[in-house]
Amino acid sequence: MAMKIPLFNQSQPRESKLNQESHIPEHIAIIMDGNGRWAGKRGMPRFAGHKEGVSTIVKIVKAAIKYKVKVLTLYAFSTENWKRPKPEIDFILRLPKEFLDIYLPELISNNVRINVIGDMEKLPSYSREAVQYAVDRTRDNGGLQLNFALNYGSRHELLNAMKKILTDINDDKLTWDELDEQQVSRYLYTAGLPEPDLLIRTGGEKRLSNFLLWQLAYTEFWFTDVLWPDFSETEFLDALEEYRQRKRRFGGI
Ligand code: FPP
């Protein structure tokens, strides 16, 4: 029987302001960048950076549970990442299975629901099967929803949505009059989820890299130079603290 992750019950002074749930973003999306540079700075192969990146995922999932974030979406592999050398692609795509082999029982005991956004069909069978098992096994869990963006590209997602919408209009399942922004959202991988309140990108770059282009329309952005393997609960709290102070106007005044 898996144990609950003990970290969750501890509370430190710095966290007190953030304990009010109204200040916590419901949905946090993260572009986990900087693994390769982290490894390069240590004279290690890029793989080592990705491996260390998984340890950061564990820490941040724990923090997200602790602060009662409802949805955490992690950009793990983009449709553009296929351009990388095959050994690096193979290594990254083995990580979800390695992660789930170790942590799925703990995630289940913490009521985490796992989901994938992206085109799973093109993933190697070992990743697809491990992830699909975790999705099926956690389907009824009501705690943190942990989305792995795997073979995800926002333009691909939007193009697919457009094709499905046109097909449904053609098949009389949808009319022009019914088609509004909410309907479009229902054709995306993120259907049914709140849009991200906060986007975090590590690794110093300030771009979206084809991530959630529709869903991030009113999201608050938080960038850090810290490389993903060095990112920790401390920086996560910095982001939450800055988010708490932002005034979200959604185009109003
Ligand atoms: C970007 O850093 C990182 C990636 C493309 C891979 C991210 C994947 C993980 C952290 C592991 C995924 C594991 C699970 C469990 C889903 P980069 O390689 O582009 O870094 P660089 O900009 O320094 O080269």
Any atom of ligand 1 within 6 Å of the Cβ of 92: yes
Q: Which residues contact 105 (CB under 8 A, 6 or more apart)?
A: 2
Active site residue 81: yes
Amino acid of residue 182: Q
Any atom of ligand 1 within 6 Å of the Cβ of 57: yes
> Could you give the domains of the chain?
27-153+198-243 (3.40.1180.10)
Q: Please, where are the H alpha helices in 110-232?
A: 125-138, 154-170, 181-186
Q: Tell me the C-alpha distance between 151 and 185, whole Å.
A: 19
The dihedrals phi and psi of 139, each to the nearest 5 degrees, come to: -50, -40
Residue pLDDT, tens place only, 96-137: 999 999 999 999 999 999 999 999 999 999 999 999 999 999
pTM: 0.93
- Partners of 89 in the β-ladder: none
Return the DSSP state at 143.
S
Active site residue 9: no
Environment class of 84 (CB within 10 Å of its CB; exposed 0-12, middle 13-18, buried 19+): middle
CB of 194 within 8 A of CB of 70?
yes
Return the DSSP state at 201.
E
Given a cut of 70, the residues of the chain with pLDDT beneath it are 1-22
The protein residue whose alpha carbon is closest to atom 24 in ligand 1 is 36
pLDDT computed for residue 1 by the predictor: 42
Q: Tell me the C-alpha distance between 179 and 42, whole Å.
A: 52
Residue pLDDT, tens place only, 128-148: 999 999 999 999 999 999 999
- Partners of 28 in the β-ladder: 72, 198
Any atom of ligand 1 within 6 Å of the Cβ of 36: yes
